[in-house]
């Protein structure tokens, strides 16, 4: 066979393929209601601000930006994307033959007692050739199925990185709010400590003048030491909040002045709709990640099916050979080889069947994971929506309770100073005020955390400045671009 007849055969072989045995992908039915929330009307689109607009507080913006630069978990997620991209390129490269240029030369001396002539001989051989080694003809789509699986795995890691980005933005915001809340509680404890010190001085003076009892003095001392212990507890909690925030940010913390949860720029989320279409949730990155993993498992079934069919490989080379290096490229030194091979599985001990069964089971596992992820997303959004109005009302009621207990303290102190009541009434009123103020901080923190939780649950936080449109749009969103193989 001449080189002119083999080259068209090789070229035709390279064009063979294109079909796969991958099952048709069918998206699982959504296992949740069509509507999220109590409203009979459901919006099918939500516009979420970029995280800079959501968290307008400059201190918080600086912390989030530092975390996005330094956080190790996010860095690992980005490296996972790079690894999946490289794996996709590796699988895709198998669709094209590997061409190499090789050169070799050997000289061999044979002793006389081993040669037919009885005299020692020296043999030389030199070769230069272009070759293709073990290129598989993808007749049944095994390689293409593996490439498709690698592509879906790559897209899944991209969505996982987006989810890690959104989670990090939300967690840094929550950690910062926790620090502010504990600082605010610390200020309340310090105010209480100062008030108890003044009360002890007052009761001691009244006792010295014979206007009060020693019991009043001891009760004031107990209240003072209790306030001092509370202050120490919140000092410890603030220090731990800083350590947790520094670990999340991945760098030493700058000087942070914030100590109040009522700042207007802490979590600026537009009023969410009372009801949402559950289709909005399908654009969450964790759901997209689960779906890509499902598609990858579906593609692996095609590769497992192709293992039952023959595998054809080609090996060929064309070049020149000569016994003299100087005559390597002279006329008549042409050399070529063409070695196709066919491997047909006859008996594999059931491994091919088991691999196909395993691929189907893993596909079913990913279906279950996808459905579970949808259910989790539905619950997160539903819980957050249901809590919006309730937390607002609770905060308003708790604020009114603080004002009422503050007035109660003033009245009880006046009655004690006038001798109309004992000091126990003052202590009770102050304990109620302390509890009301601390609970107000807790409710405000819950309200802000719920606002951030809704923002994250809807898929916000991925972009710093550009608003994110979740749900239907006039122009369909562009899918993530596949890496070049």
Decide: helix, strand or coil at residue 311.
Answer: strand
Has residue 199 been placed in a domain? yes
As a whole number of angstroms, the distance between CA 256 and CA 59 comes to 7
Q: Contact, 306 vs 145, CB < 8 A?
A: yes
Return the sign of the alpha-carbon dihedral for residues 67, 72, 76, 82: positive
The reported pTM is 0.81
Q: Tally the domains of the chain.
A: 1
The answer to the question of residue 321 being in a domain is no
In sequence order, which residues have a C-beta less than 8 Å from that of residue 5 and are 6 or more positions away? none
| Domain assignment of residue 402, yes or no | yes
Q: Which residue stretches of 309-422 are H helix?
A: 351-417
Residue 152 lies in a domain: yes
Contact between 265 and 180 (Cβ < 8 Å): no
- Asked if 245 and 46 touch (Cβ cutoff 8 Å), the reply is no
Q: Is residue 183 a contact partner of residue 259, using CB atoms and an 8 Å limit?
A: yes
DSSP-assigned letters across all residues of 193-238: HHHHHHHHHHHHHHHHTTSS-HHHHHHHHHHHHHHHHHHHHHHHHH
Handedness of CA 129, 134, 138, 144 (dihedral sign): negative
Does residue 10 fall inside a structural domain?
Answer: no
Residue 116 lies in a domain: no
Contacts with 57 (C-beta within 8 Å, 6 or more apart), sequence order: 258, 263, 265, 266
Mean pLDDT by 10 residues, the chain (485 residues): 46 54 89 76 77 90 92 85 86 79 78 70 76 80 89 92 92 94 93 85 78 79 88 94 92 88 80 76 89 93 89 81 69 76 82 91 94 92 89 94 92 82 80 92 94 89 79 46 49
Q: For residue 321, give the H/E element and its range.
A: strand 311-322
CA–CA dist 271, 249 (Å, integer): 29
Cα–Cα distance, 271 to 282 (Å, whole number): 21
Contact 172, 67 (CB under 8 A): yes
Would you say 459 and 283 are in contact if contact means Cβ atoms under 8 Å apart? yes
**Amino acid 328: pLDDT:** 67
Which residues lie across from 360 on neighbouring strands? Answer: none
So what's the pLDDT on residue 210?
A: 77
CATH of residue 87: 1.20.1600.10
Q: Are 124 and 130 in contact (CB under 8 A)?
A: no
In-domain check, residue 426: yes
How many CB atoms are located within 10 Å of the residue 160 CB? 21
Token pair 């007052």: residue: 202
Spell 229-243 as b/e; 16+ CB within 10 A means b: ebbeebeebbeebbe
Query: What phi, psi does 58 have (nearest 5°)?
Result: -60, -40
CA dihedral 198, 204, 210, 211 (to 10 degrees): 30
Q: Is 308 exposed, middle or buried (0-12, 13-18, 19+ CB in 10 A)?
A: middle
Residue 272: partners with Cβ closer than 8 Å, 6 or more residues away: 46, 385, 388, 454, 458
Query: For residues 388 and 38, is the Cβ–Cβ distance under 8 A?
Result: no
Q: How many C-beta neighbours within 10 Å does residue 109 have?
A: 8
State the angle between helix axes of 142-208 and 285-306 in degrees (0 to 180), rounded to the nearest 10: 150
Checking phi first, is residue 366 left (phi over 0); if not, alpha (psi -120 to 50) or beta? Answer: alpha
Are 298 and 23 within 8 A, CB to CB?
yes
Q: How many CB atoms lie within 10 A of CB 479?
A: 8
In a domain, 101, yes or no: no
Domain membership of residue 217 as a residue range: 20-95+139-309+352-471
pLDDT value at position 236? Answer: 96
Nearest C-alpha neighbor of 227 from the set 188, 189, 197, 186: 189
Nearest to 484 by CA among 92, 47, 210, 152: 92
Residues in the chain, overall count: 485
∠ Cα 415 421 423 (to 5°): 100
């Amino acid at each position: 066979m001449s080189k002119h007849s083999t080259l068209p055969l090789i070229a035709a072989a390279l064009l063979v393929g294109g079909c796969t045995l991958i099952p048709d992908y069918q998206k699982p039915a959504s296992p949740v209601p069509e509507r999220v929330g109590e409203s009979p009307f459901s919006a099918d689109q939500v516009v979420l601000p970029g995280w800079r607009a959501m968290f307008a507080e400059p201190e918080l913006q600086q912390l989030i930006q530092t975390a996005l630069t330094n956080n190790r978990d996010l860095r690992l997620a980005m490296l996972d994307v790079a690894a999946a991209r490289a794996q996709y390129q590796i699988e895709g490269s198998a669709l094209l033959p590997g061409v190499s240029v090789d050169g070799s030369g050997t000289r061999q001396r044979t002793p006389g007692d081993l040669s037919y002539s009885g005299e020692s001989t020296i043999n030389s051989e030199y070769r230069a050739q272009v070759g293709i080694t073990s290129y598989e003809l993808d007749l049944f789509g095994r390689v293409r199925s593996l490439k498709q699986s690698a592509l879906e795995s790559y897209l899944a890691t991209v969505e996982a990185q987006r989810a890690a980005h959104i989670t990090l933005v939300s967690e840094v915001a929550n950690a910062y709010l926790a620090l502010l809340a504990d600082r605010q509680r610390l200020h309340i404890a310090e105010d209480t400590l100062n008030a108890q010190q003044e009360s002890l001085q007052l009761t001691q003076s009244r006792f010295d003048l014979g206007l009060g009892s020693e019991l009043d003095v001891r009760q004031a001392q107990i209240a003072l030491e209790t306030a001092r212990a509370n202050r120490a507890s919140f000092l410890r909690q603030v220090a731990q909040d800083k350590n947790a925030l520094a670990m999340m940010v991945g760098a030493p913390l700058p000087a942070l002045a914030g100590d109040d949860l009522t700042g207007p720029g802490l979590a600026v989320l537009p009023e969410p709709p009372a009801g949402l279409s559950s289709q909005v949730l399908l654009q969450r990155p964790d759901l997209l990640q689960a779906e890509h993993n499902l598609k990858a498992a579906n593609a692996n079934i095609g590769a497992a099916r192709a293992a039952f069919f023959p595998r054809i490989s080609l090996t060929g080379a064309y070049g020149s050979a000569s016994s003299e290096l100087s005559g390597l490229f002279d006329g008549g030194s042409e050399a070529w080889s063409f070695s196709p091979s066919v491997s047909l599985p006859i008996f594999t001990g059931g491994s091919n069947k088991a691999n196909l069964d395993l691929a189907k089971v893993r596909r079913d596992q990913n279906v279950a994971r996808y459905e579970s992820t949808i259910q989790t997303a539905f619950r997160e959004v539903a819980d957050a929506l249901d809590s919006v109005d309730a937390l607002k009302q609770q905060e308003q009621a708790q604020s009114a309770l603080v004002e009422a207990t503050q007035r109660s303290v003033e009245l009880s102190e006046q009655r004690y100073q006038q001798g109309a009541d004992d000091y126990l009434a003052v202590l009770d009123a102050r304990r109620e005020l302390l509890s009301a103020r601390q609970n107000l901080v807790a409710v405000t923190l819950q309200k802000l955390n719920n606002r951030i939780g809704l923002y994250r649950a809807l898929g916000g936080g991925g972009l710093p400045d550009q608003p994110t449109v979740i749900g239907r749009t006039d122009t369909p969103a562009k899918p993530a671009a596949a890496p070049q193989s």
